[in-house]
Chain A
Amino acid sequence: MSDSTHTGPMLAADGTPLKRSLRRALRAQKMRALALIAPLLIFVLLTFIAPIVDMLFRSVENQIVGNTLPMTVEELRDWDATEVPDEQVFRALFFDLFLAAEAKEHTKLGSRLNYEKSGISSLFRTSGRDMNDIGEVFQDALEEIDPAFEEASTWVEMMSGGARAEPNARLMSNQIARLEALEATTFSGDAEFLPGAAISDILPNTARAYAAFAAFTQFVDGKSVTKEEPWEAVYAALALDLEDPATKTAIASYAGPGADNLRQAAAATLPPIAMRDAFFESNKDWANVTFWETIKTYSPPYTTGYFLNAVDMEKTPQGIALRSEDERIYGILFQRTMFMSLMITFSCVALGYPVAWILANLPTRTANLLMILVLLPFWTSLLVRTSAWKVMLQQQGVINDVLVWLGLVADESRLVMINNQFGTIVAMTHILLPFMILPMYSVMQTIPPSYLRAAKSLGANNWTAFWRVYFPQSVPGIGAGSILVFILAIGYYITPEIVGGTTGTFISNRIAYHISSSLNWGLAAALGTILLAVVLILYWAYDKIVGIDNVKLG
């Protein structure tokens, strides 16, 4: 730099400006650091963050109604929700439900809608069974008119419109896509059967029903459509098409394969099509407008229904409203979770503060020995500690035995300390206490004991010296420990499940119940999302107060 002849920008050894050279080096360093982090980041994103996001998505997802009853949902779009829908809707419902019943997906839809309106599940279950009977009327009638309708080959030929006919590939791929959505899988391979374009125009319902049948036979059953007699819905669809006089005239001039059979069927009188009455006969609840309202309300692919349910609300025709008094359980459960987590946090502060103090103020050697008493529970398996508390708190347990032996409690009136809130609070306080003591201890270690002596020598009494001098300095430790304990407590599952009984359980137990027992995954996801939101707010606060980098273990 003493070289005063050089006036341009400072240069590095290789002649590039130092600034650029430095920036390049820095960039290389950054890239190296990112390259080291990248594998783990991708790993965590794939194994952990993706599942969480998937769960968030599931809490609003509601594609089952649209996937199971696509045509009904379409028909219901203009329904004004004042009276029972007309015949048109019931016809769509027949074909939807028929396919769903064949694929055995109708009960799933029934249980999904049952979460919103109880009783609806039996509606779908019983009517799903009756679909064959409703369609069989038309099958019998048509086969009586022309026995050729019993033959699988007649149908294949008729619906494909002959070997050289122009195919309607779009109709077939639509039906395959619909079946894929219904079965929640993807099928591979080409369709064995393609409906003819001409016949699809003349008999739209039959072509659609037959294409659905063909797709199901080939991809789900794994059989050949040329050897299978179509199912009842196809006959019903044909009857439906023949009901229209325009179809009859079109058939009269149609020359493709099976035209004669069709003409014969068109000339005869078929049983009247009254799907509405048939459904009412199958289950009188189809005449119940509220069930139809539920189907319509939950027909969009995304719903806030699970979240509303999670906060004890429901969708009604009049808008969103609170559930009736006896159906509100989640509000109470959230309140209880909050209350118990707070109780556990307070108990941990109350018990942890003196211990942290004494550990921080004893000579190091003694403090390290006592520290083992804190660390041993910390390192012991959670289930060991939980089973220990079960042993301690039972009615025939250690504490009750000791109390009875001492005569403080009569043998016949042993204390009930387990399977209630008390049990959960005691056991969880014990389990989480080390998480309170450790951060408090690390903060208190940094407070010089001379401050207290100084305060006392200036005339403060014990209490004032503690409250005005020591306590304010220990508050960060209390804050860190409290948030940590609260975050851990609010999402606890194992301990409440074992010692909590029915009154001492948390929201997590309800989530687990909905995943494994009631199978209401959407509601479980919604409850989980709410819980996650609470925890993330606390996590953010923890990061602000303590900093994630400053978390210490052991």
Chain B
Amino acid sequence: MNGFTLTPVETKPLSFSLPVIGAAGGFVGLFVGTAHGSGLMGVVIGAVALMVLAYVALVVLGLAQEKITRWGLVALFIVAGVLLAGVPGFVLGLLFGLFFSWFIFWIGEGRYRANLAPYLTSGQVLWHYAFRVICGAIFIFLITPILVVMPLSFNAQNFFTFTPEMLRFDPAGYSLKHYQDFFTSNEWQQALRNSLLIAPAATVLSVSFGTLAAIGLSSEHVPFRRAIMAVLISPMIVPLIISAAGMYFFYSRIGLQGTYLGVVLAHAALGIPFVIITVTATLVGFDRSLTRAAANMGADPVTTFFRVQMPLILPGVISGGLFAFITSFDEVVVVLFVGSANQQTLPWEMFTGLREQISPTILAVATILVVISIALLTTMEYLRRRSERLRGMSPS
């Protein structure tokens, strides 16, 4: 599919391309029109303008001057955008210009068929692209909320919304004051310290216990394997509110409620299923003859574990640890109940902030957390590839 053409591309008749491009123009015109008072006028103007542009581009100027035509179209759209809506219009004009300069030639020259099998009917071609548009919309749904948070965290106002200054790209509308607030406020700094104290401690606990147990679980003859597995995975399955309620009642009985130890133990329990799952998955691909070979050459079990087995399953252990870390770092329900005011973590601070006083500092924290999660995601991907390489598979 890549680089070669499945179906020869041929110029489509104007009776097909002009209405299609016109319909697209009308669709965009609808929105521009409603924003300026009359939707119907927008549709008509948009459709007619695009048909004229398409005619000029495809017939008058022709394929020979495609490049120049494209740049001209982009410039035209930008000018129209600025005239209609000022600075934000510039961005929208640029985007629409790039889209339509590509779209006109894509439709008009029939390039959309190039990557599809020649025997497909028009309906199937239409469905093929409609499906991609639907998927694109779902991807946008997935990613937009996360992207929206980032620019808002630079808001100069104490609002949760885009101010007119921000939309005009006026530098006065942006500031770093919410980040400053985060880094200077005692409450947030205490929360950050708590998070950075509790999460690693919980991670160390769950990784050390979890790895040992995973090694035990993956040996061939384990009695009650299924039952044990069900118990060990249960912290992931039981709703957090139930775990939190149970731990609150139980830990207050034994005096652990409101202590760091209580929160660390609770978070370690929640992280264990992730360690078990990732490490057992890694051990499935572990070649047992290696440990036998090591034993054969005189290594005792401890040496074998640290010198032979551990380096090979390390990627799995680390990614399990990352999961455990993020579970604790991101956890709010259990810490709300098991912790007290002294153990307020970042998510706790964000939660109370969201519920009570809404301050964009939360969005600054959110942006920092998104950056951290991108870093973690990259680490995980790297580890996955490394693990596959170590196991002799070609990374995909």
Contacts and interface: CB of A to CB of B under 8 A. Distances in A.
Interface string B215-245: 1110111110010111111110111111111
Nearest to B384: A554
Nearest to B376: A379
A39 B35 CA distance: 65
A249 to B, nearest CB: 51
Given A387-B354, A387-B366, A554 B249 contact: no
Interface in B341-396: 347, 350-351, 354-355, 362-363, 366, 369-370, 373-374, 376-377, 380, 384, 396
A246 B33 CA distance: 103
Nearest to B117: A453
Interface in A36-89: 36-37, 39-41, 43-45, 47-55, 58
Given A355-B135, A379-B373, 16 more contacts: A33-B216, A33-B222, A34-B222, A37-B216, A37-B222, A48-B269, A364-B396, A373-B143, A380-B370, A382-B347, A383-B351, A384-B369, A387-B149, A493-B333, A548-B226, A553-B278
A30 B242 contact: no
Given A351-B138, A354-B135, A515-B337, A49 B351 contact: no
Interface residues of B, number: 103
Contacts of A385: 145-146
A32 interface: yes
A285 interface: no
Name the 8 nearest CB pairs between A and B, nearest first: A491-B239, A36-B216, A407-B34, A51-B246, A388-B145, A51-B250, A40-B213, A55-B246
Interface in B311-365: 319, 323, 326, 329-330, 332-333, 337, 347, 350-351, 354-355, 362-363
B31 A48 contact: no
B240 A54 contact: no
A259 interface: no
B216 A354 contact: no
B212 A36 contact: yes
B269 A43 contact: yes
Interface string A476-515: 0000000000010011111001100000000010011001
Q: Is the interface of A mostly helix, strand, loop or mixed?
A: helix
Contact of B247 (A51, A368, A386, A521): A51
A377 B2 CA distance: 29
A47 B246 contact: no
Contacts of A430: 141-142, 145
A396 interface: yes
Contacts of A392: 144-145, 148
A40 B210 contact: yes
Interface in B191-219: 205, 209-210, 212-213, 215-217, 219
B53 interface: no
Interface of A: 26, 29-30, 32-37, 39-41, 43-45, 47-55, 58, 351, 354-355, 358, 363-364, 368, 370, 372-377, 379-392, 394, 396-398, 401, 405-408, 430, 433-434, 462, 487, 490-494, 497-498, 508, 511-512, 515-516, 521, 524-525, 528, 531-532, 535-536, 539, 542-543, 548-549, 551-554
A29 B248 CA distance: 39
B354 A408 contact: no
A386 B333 CA distance: 14
Interface in B110-146: 124, 127, 131-132, 134-135, 138-139, 141-146
Contacts of A45: 231
B222 A52 contact: no
A372 B378 CA distance: 10
Contact of B148 (A388, A497, A543): A388
A30 B223 contact: yes
Contact of B249 (A40, A58, A433): A58
Nearest to A39: B209
A300 B226 CA distance: 39
Contacts of A398: 148, 161-162
Nearest to A508: B241
A548 B337 CA distance: 28
A289 B150 CA distance: 64
B354 A531 contact: no
A493 B331 CA distance: 12
Contacts of B329: 381
A364 B1 CA distance: 12
A363 B1 contact: yes
Contact of A358 (B135, B337, B380): B135
A539 B232 CA distance: 13
B295 interface: no
Q: Count chain A CB atoms within 10 A of each CB in B1, B124, B241, B354 and give the residue with the most.
A: B241
B290 interface: no
Contacts of B222: 30, 33-34, 37
B19 interface: no
Nearest to B210: A40
B374 A553 contact: no
B51 interface: no
12 contacts: A29-B219, A44-B235, A47-B247, A47-B269, A354-B134, A355-B138, A373-B139, A387-B354, A391-B152, A491-B240, A491-B241, A515-B248
Contacts of A381: 329-330, 347, 366, 369-370, 373
A549 B229 contact: yes
B161 A494 contact: no
Nearest to A528: B242
A50 B250 contact: yes
B171 interface: no
A409 to B, nearest CB: 10
A383 B366 contact: yes
B338 to A, nearest CB: 9
B24 interface: no
Nearest to A397: B161
B309 interface: no
Given A47-B269, A376-B377, A553-B277, A41 B231 contact: yes
A372 B251 CA distance: 39
A273 B228 CA distance: 64
A396 B330 CA distance: 28
Given A381-B369, A494-B351, A553-B277, A375 B377 contact: yes
A43 B206 CA distance: 10
B241 A384 contact: no
B272 interface: yes
Contacts of B333: 493-494
Contact of B160 (A370, A391, A543): A391
Nearest to B331: A382
B377 to A, nearest CB: 5
A551 B277 contact: yes
B280 interface: yes
Contacts of B323: 553
Contacts of B162: 398, 401
B245 A55 contact: yes
Contact of B239 (A390, A524, A531): A531
